[in-house]
Amino acid sequence: MSELVHITEAQPAHHNFIKSTWLKSFFLGKASFCENLTPGTFYYEHASLVERCLKRAKVLIAESKDSPDVAIGYVCYEPEVIHYIYVRHQFKRFGIGRALLAATGINTEKFSITHRTRDCAWAVSFIKRQNMGDGTFKRELILGKYPKGVYNPYLFLRMED
């Protein structure tokens, strides 16, 4: 399927699509970052961070080769940092996310992600902390496909305008 998409730089006309899908999919993806926030608080506060990111970072968009006006997914990134990868639900598992990641040119031996959801959990290593029920916690290193990738949401929070 990834051969059926054209990857190009996002234009300002894409920003509403990017912002709305980023916020909705991140919130509904049950990221631990937002699990205790009300929807109103999350959408209001996180929208300003996404807007700041879109002003500073690069965004590549995957469009259908058959219908170039149909956006299928995107990746928002900076050197060595992936902020967000999104692929429409009906197009997942066809390699479009991997194609977007490859198009960034980021070295998969050393990179960070700032937004970790269930859909991208396969990509990077992280520490899983499990409550054992007796007041103790078990820590386990989960290796991802790119084991040297690091989840670091603070890179996103430190962004300057």
CA angle 142, 151, 127 (to 5 degrees): 30
Is the whole model's pTM more than 0.85, yes or no?
no
Please state the domain extents for the chain.
2-157
103-137 pLDDT per residue, tens = 998 877 677 777 766 555 555 544 455 556 666 65
Low-confidence winner among 28-32, 35-39, 78-82, 125-129 (lowest mean pLDDT): 125-129
Closest Cα partner for 74 from 60, 88, 64, 89?
A: 60
- For 2-157, CATH number out of 1.20.1090.10, 1.10.10.10, 3.40.630.30, 3.40.50.2000 equals 3.40.630.30
